[in-house]
Amino acid sequence: MTPPAEPWRAAIHRWLAQPAHVHLLGIGGIGMAGLARLLAARGQHVTGCDAATPRTLRWLQAQGIPATTGHDPAHLADAQWAIHSPAVPADHPEMLAAARLPLFRRGQVLPVLAEQWQTIAVAGTHGKTTTAAMITHILRHTGADPSWCIGGELAPDHAPAGIGTGPWLVIEADESDATLAHYAPAVALITNIEFDHMEHFTSPAHFTQCFRAYARQARHLVYCADDPAAAALGAEIGGLSYGLTPAADYRAENPQPTPAGTRATLRGTPLHIPIPGPHNLLNALGAIAAVSHCGIDLSAAAAALATFALPRRRFEQIAHARGIRIIADYAHHPAEIRALIAATRETGADRIWAIFQPHRYTRTRALGPDFPPAFDGITGLILLPVYAASEPPLPGGTAADLLKHLWRHNQYPAELAADLPAAAHAAAARWQPGDTVLVIGAGDVEQIAPHLQALLHATQ
């Protein structure tokens, strides 16, 4: 089933049917950078700008796409149409200038552009990037040569998007602003459905309805049978299931966690996932189920996954010295943090320090009581101010409010650091050989890495 016809969809089809100059506002965002690469591959003249200078700007420039730092209405002088990131304020002068052109959101353009391939779309509250990366890895290593556009930087060259010669495109389908309902892929994968993005959705039912529309419009549905909401949707619509539950079509048997990853058996085939955590075993099962619709057999998919490496900021070791490991992870929802702590334990870690930057005031307020138990098992927590992601502060949603929840939970010491350097010094004052330090969050907390590395290597 195709999505309902809407004027913006027809307009995007017209622009994509001819070479034209499209300008991307906020092109440095990883999703926008990937979209830029796909648009250039389909013959569009792509330019873009971003308020900051993230790594993606340098990557785009290396791909021959002019991407500049700073917003300016003059960037639009020759543009024929434009795409904007939600991170660009609506009242910014360049946004006001762009409004005089045909102007679209990324979540409108990517679903239409994806119609030019056989698309595998991965959706879900958690696990999208890793699962989509696994699918891409399998297809690349089995000769299918896919294109991809993923919200992460894939090994080995840290590219968020790529163009292959095969018919398949692997993408993440983002639910954050309800544009998930615009996709009609060949294969729709749902990892899980756990209420999030309270800045847009009014209730869990509203959130689930977005996934329902997406699932109904796909040719094939793949879903995690271990997740209650995804399983309910799969039972309603029909599809291929995966998980650890006995009812799953793709079920892992006898999973054995080890410091080097997880071993299991799938339909009699040995499976080795070289990354820790039961959530990553589920991601691998979903990827194998999805590529079965591409004609990739189980043994070939399992062999490919044995060489899989996580994208950047997914359990990424950023330093290891004096017996101390520092690992960065994008987790920002309580369920993701709980899975991260469990995965860290599987690697043999005993004492774990967490540096956490909450993401969005809306999420922090809505899920405040759920965060403290997600960290259970750590040695101590250093909390940073909330990364606003363009939101205004909300009563009940600040880091100080979250700290009160942590103190009431009272299972481990927790303190609030003023900024990244202060958090790094707080961690360095406590760590000792054998410890693991987790740098957790979806904002700019990764910029703490140089501070931690300098302190780790400093002469004592």
Distance CA 191, CA 211 (A): 11
209 burial via Cβ count (<10 Å: 0-12, 13-18, 19+): middle
If one counts every other C-beta atom within 10 angstroms of the C-beta of residue 54, the result is: 18
Distance CA 420, CA 426 (A): 10
Q: Which of 392, 444, 398 is nearest to 421 (CA)?
A: 444
Q: Enumerate the active-site residues.
A: 128-129, 172
- Judged by DSSP in three states, 23 sits in strand
44 in Cβ contact with 22 (< 8 Å): yes
264 in Cβ contact with 257 (< 8 Å): no
Rg of the chain (C-alpha set): 22
Distance CA 251, CA 405 (A): 38
361 in Cβ contact with 397 (< 8 Å): yes
CA dihedral of residues 402, 124, 328, 403 (deg, nearest 10): 0
302 in Cβ contact with 270 (< 8 Å): yes
Distance CA 352, CA 220 (A): 41
226 in Cβ contact with 244 (< 8 Å): yes
